[in-house]
Each structure stands twice: as C-alpha cells, then as structure tokens.
Amino acid sequence: MVWRRIRCVAGTSCRDGSLSMTMMKRVMPAMVTIAVLALIARRVPVDRLIASLRDANYVAFLAVMIPNTIVYFLWDTLILKTVVGWFHGGVPFRELLPVRAASYVVAFFNTNAGRGALAAYLWRRLDVPFLELGGTVIFLVLTEYTQLVLWAMLGVFGFRAELTSGLLSIAVAVAAFWLAVFAYTRLHVTPARALTWLFAPREWVLFRTFRRASAVRYGQVVLLRAPMFLVSLAAHYYGAHAFGIDIPFGQMLTFLPVVFMAAALPITVAHLGTTQAAWLLFFGQFAPAPRLLAFSLVAHLTFAATRALLGLAWLPVAYGQLVQPAVVGLRADRIRRTSRASA
C-alpha cells in the first residue's frame, strides 16, 4: 500500500489505473443492463408490450403491491432490530425506521452502498467497530439468500413442481456453504502450524457475528423472515392476475425465490434486466412473454419506487439521527478539553 502511494506521488500510471478501474465499475452495471434489456427486446415486440401495459388492471395490482412494499419495509426493519440486538445492543424500532428507509434510496442506485450506509449509521449509533456491523449486515444478506433457497425447495418437494437440475445444485451448494461457515467460525480446535494461515481469518472482527451465532440463531432468522416472504408471495400471485397471468401456486412458490435472488445480484442498474429475464425464463410457459415482461417491469418499478418514496419521506429524520451523534461527540470533546485546560 505504501509503495503504491509512492508510485502515485511519483507520477506513474497508478492514478490512471485507479481512475480507469473506478470508471469501469461505474459503467459496467449500465452496460450489463442495456445488454440484458436489448436481448429481451429482441424477443418481445414493443407494440405487444405496450398493449399488455395498457390492458392491465392497475387498481387491483396496486391494491396488493403497495401494501406488500410497506409490510416489507416494516418487517425488514424488525429483523434488523432483532439481529442487531442479539449481537451488538438494542436500538429502538422507531429509530431504525428512518435509517432503514433512507438506505433504500441509496440501494436504488447501488445495493452495496445502501448496506454500507446502514452499517455506518449503526456504527455511529452503537459505537462498536465498523467491521463488526459489516459482518452482521453480511450475515443478514446470506441468511436472506438461504431462506429463499429453502422456500424454493419447499415448492419442489411439497408441491411437486417441475425441477431444473440447476435448482437442486444451488440447494446443495448453499447447504455445503453454511456447513463450512458454521464449522469454520465455531471450530475451537487449535489448527496445526501449517494451517494457521487458513484458520487465522476466523478471528477477524468481521466474522464476530458468525462466531457468536448458534445454530438456533440461524434458524430463528430464517423463521423470522418467513412472514415477509409469504406476504410477497401472495402479492405477486394475485398481482399477476391483474395482467391476465395465472401461474400455479406451486410453480410460483418454487421459482419466485429464484427470481428474488436474481434481482438481488448487484450487476445492473436498479436491478433491471436480471429480474425480467428470470421471470421470462421460469414462468414463460404460463403466459405470453409480453404480459410477463409488462408485469415484471411494473412490479419491480412499483416496489423500488415505493421504497424510494418511503426513504425520501424519512430522509430528513435519518439525516438528523446521523448528524446528532457527531455533534454530541464534538461537544464531549470540547468539555474534556475545557476541563483539562482549567485543571
């Protein structure tokens, strides 16, 4: 790191390389979004897409999708409050609401930045190491993916939905991943010297939440997320009817979690493109492509826009909460300096 800074000061190509990498990271999501949407546009005629958008029953659609987003916001905040209370300390629900809502505004443009903003607030609010809170945010993300895979497996085996070989491989990979994480972070055997380099990272502060989380906690988080997913499942199941789409419940239960996982990938702008491609791939046999594309676009944009509006409404309160700890800290420093000077 020091050598790299010296090279930058010396005027070498370090700065140009950093700028090019930064520019590439900013441009790449837009390029991927355009590419995916262009591929979809080749399959779906624009005039048929416009007709599907025009013929939809938006009153019935919004009647289920907007309450779904509000329930998601409230329940997501409850999960955050619960998990933070387990591993770091209690934060009142009413204090987390503005910050959770404001993080949605940031996440609309960059998912990871939204998660980082949430961790930054908790860091200032709780006065604990930032990486500890970062580990908790990662814990929440990974358990969210896990419960989506479990719901998909319930659809496969409980409702005898048609199965793709890739879906079972995903479930096996997730199970193997969590077994490895659980064994790695909670193994109390002193490793051999030759393997010290491998086992040393488990003591990092970033893994603190994973070290403290018992198997019961993992199960509790998955169960706590269940009502939120069930509400979303019902909203999409009945919301699709507003676009003339009738998807069997077993198929919806099986593949909607996979659609959500595809939507969570931070590789496109506002998660556009990947979500629509997943809807067309998994539900293409139940409705014409223009209707599916119209429904997936409107559902996705309604969810994202409603969350963003909630975030904008709460933004002044969230900003005040974020600035207040810094002001309190400055006042405390001034008091300490004054007392030292008088002494």
Cβ pair 135, 210 in contact under 8 A = yes
- Taking the alpha carbons at both ends of the chain, their separation in whole angstroms is 42
pLDDT-derived band at 286, boundaries 50, 70, 90: very high
pLDDT in tens, 138-180: 899 889 988 988 898 888 777 666 655 566 666 667 667 766 7
291 or 27, greater pLDDT:
291
Q: Provide the pLDDT for residue 125.
A: 86
Per-chain mean pLDDT for the chain:
81
Task: Tell me the per-residue pLDDT of 198-247, one tens digit each, with 9 for 90 and over.
Answer: 555 667 788 889 889 888 999 999 999 999 999 999 999 999 999 999 99
Asked whether the beta carbons of 111 and 266 are under 8 A apart, the reply is yes
Mention every residue, 6+ apart, whose C-beta is less than 8 A from residue 276.
Answer: 36, 37, 40, 293, 296, 297, 300
Q: Indicate if the pLDDT at residue 120 is higher than 80.
A: yes
Confidence class for position 297, pLDDT limits 50, 70, 90: very high
* Spatial CA neighbour of 226 closest among 122, 291, 143: 143
pTM attached to this predicted model: 0.80
DSSP H or E segment with residue 77:
helix 58-87
Where b means 16+ CB within 10 Å and e means fewer, 91-124 reads: beeebbbbbbbbbbbbbbebbeebbbbbbbbbbb
- Position 57 pLDDT exceeds 80: yes
How many other C-beta atoms lie within 10 A of the C-beta of residue 25? 10
pLDDT in tens, 20-56: 666 777 788 888 888 988 999 888 999 999 999 999 9
Task: Please report the sign of the dihedral spanned by the C-alpha atoms of residue 245, residue 53, residue 110, residue 103.
Answer: negative
